[in-house]
Structure 1
Amino acid sequence: MTFAELLEATRAGAQYVPGLATVASAPYLFRPFVMLLALAVSAGIAGTLVNLRRAEFTAEAVSHSVFPGIVAGFIVAGLDGIVPGGAVVGVVAATVLTLAAQRAAAADEAGTAIVLSTFYAVGLVLSLAHSDKSGQLEALMFGRLLEVSPERLGQALLACACAVALLCATWPAQLAVAYDRVLARASGIRVQRYDAVFNVAVAATVVAGASAVGVLLVVGFLVVPAASARLVARSPRSMACWATGVAAVSSYAGMAVAAAPPSRPVSPQACVVVALLVALVLTVAGKGLVNRARRH
């Protein structure tokens, strides 16, 4: 069922004001909302490390690298196969990116760019080789938030739980590597091991988000909430909490806007990402006002 059909079905029923009760009572809204909340927790923690590591380009590369796995999983098992397929390729991409991180900074960026372009090109080739399904695969690039099935929700929750568990179990060492890789290595920390854990956790978050907001928009969850949180947080832990909160509130706001009866249907996943950007703008503006007040 398309979003337009869902919107018409909603309009045919009782009039309502978008709210938490509506999300909880409507199955087609409740499952996507639960997925977005799980993604907010996973992306809030992973995004904090992405921001501290300045690894936004790596997160972008991971999000594009899982695309061939999503395509292959969809071809083999339909919509319910995109998370397992993306997970397999995500582990491979995380391994390759970890090996690339051993090089110098310039080589690291070059290797990341090569991984991004290569994996994404393979995904496009697979997509075009199955032209009868290319339209649906193109939709997966931008997400199908309202078509979340119980199977896909369970898979996404498992992926988010794995990402959170990996990062929480290695949090002190992850922070040490994020702040100073050279000092961390001199202190006896196996930097490559924690790079691999970080990349796998980011890949798991991307795979979970790809089934909801698509491989092209999931980067917004990893980058924007953490950028907003860094402006107000005073510690990495509070930064992760702020990022999670920003992502969760923005998810609810985006879902509320998408569920409202507009003159034309709108993309719910796009509404959620726009809400993330609005939160960033408001945070920047509020931070500027606070700094100006302190100066005066």
Structure 2
Amino acid sequence: MTLLHEVYQFTIAPFQEFAFMRRALVATLALALSSAPLGVMLTLRRMSLFGEALSHAVLPGVAAGFIFFGLSLPALSIGGFLAGVIVVALAGWISRHTELKEDASLAAIYVVALALGVIMISGHGTQLDLLHILFGNVLGVDTEGLMLVAGVSSVSVLLMAGLYRGLLLESFDPSYLAASGGRNTLYQQSFLMLVVLNLVASFQTLGTLMAVGLMMLPAVSARLWHDTLPAQLVNSTVQAAAAGYAGLMLSYYASVPSGPVIIVCAGAFYFLSLVFAPRGWLPRMLRRPHLRA
């Protein structure tokens, strides 16, 4: 009984005793449910760095919302979403009217957007405001923020389920999708809007600099474990949820910022996958003698 009591005190008691820990856990689990599968779809489309660029590109919109309305969550979220939509549309326009590919134009835009957003916030707020927006504060999620994250997660899961077949066809065989009457642009733009929406929801907890971490690290790690897409979707969600829980526990007991610790935990799962996953280093080394024989 003593051992069980100690385990309970270490793993469950913080969430039972403190409401802010419960809200942080629910918000992190909701993000894991929607962001990680989107990351898998991004890797499938060879757009892994696209999410990184978009997470930084929303900063000017967040900064504009902060300047006019302060730390108002609806204003920050709407501003960030509009900025992300504008950046995606601008990158697409540049790729259509110049010889630059969409990823190259997006890389150029997001660097400028990140610098502009930092300047805007620094000129109208304190250093604490800048750190809050850049790195988030998952333990500070209130009921309003939790409802936003849960709403975005629910909508994202439902839309991904509805668009699943079209997204697969658009990723693997866009020519067939177009020939069968599907609209490639509709699926692509809908998918990118979901990515922007989840990044905007994530910045409240993880900040604009690390919002993409919970989206991409579990997704990349899941590809090392499974060949099939459904298994990768489930694996990435489980890894993201486990990283969220472990990060909150470690940050609680070590008194360090929760957002970065969550991303470090996701990174730890990734490095373990690099070594032990079926497509990782160790199984490949063990298979080499058999291949030579």
SS, match of residue 215 in structure 1 = helix
Kept in 1, the 8 Å contact 2:88–2:106? The answer is: no
Give yes or no for the alignment of 1:146 onto 2:139: yes
Percent identity (aligned): 27
Q: CA deviation at 1:158?
A: 1.6
Partner of 1:161: 154
Distance 1:128 1:256, change over 3 A: closer
Q: CA deviation at 1:166?
A: 2.4
Q: CA deviation at 1:103?
A: 7.0
Please give the per-residue CA displacement for 1:244-285, whole angstroms capped at 9, x wherever unaligned.
00000111111111111x3xx311111100000110111121
Letter of the 1:18 partner, please give it: F
Distance 1:105 1:143, change over 3 A: farther
SS, match of residue 78 in structure 1 = coil
Q: CA deviation at 1:199?
A: 0.8
Partner of 1:6: none
| Structure-2-length-normalised TM-score | 0.85
1:266 to 256, 259, 274: 256
* Residue segments in structure 2 that go unaligned for 5+ positions in a row: 1-7
1:216 to 197, 209, 217: 209
Q: CA deviation at 1:52?
A: 0.3
Give yes or no for the alignment of 1:42 onto 2:34: yes
Partner of 1:283: 273
2:61 to 66, 69, 78: 69
Distance 1:104 1:250, change over 3 A: farther
Kept in 2, the 8 Å contact 1:145–1:269? The answer is: yes
Structure number with higher relative contact order (C-alpha < 8 Å, ≥ 6 residues apart): 1
Query: How many equivalent residue pairs?
Result: 277
RMSD: 2.3
Give yes or no for the alignment of 1:112 onto 2:112: no
Aligned partners of 2:98 and 2:221: how far apart in 1?
Answer: 30
1:206 to 194, 199, 207: 199
| Structure-1-length-normalised TM-score | 0.84
Aligned partners of 1:237 and 1:104: how far apart in 2?
Answer: 37
Aligned partners of 1:191 and 1:101: how far apart in 2?
Answer: 16
Please give the per-residue CA displacement for 1:141-199, whole angstroms capped at 9, x wherever unaligned.
01111111111111122222222222221111111222244454444432211111111
Letter of the 2:213 partner, please give it: G
SS, match of residue 234 in structure 1 = coil
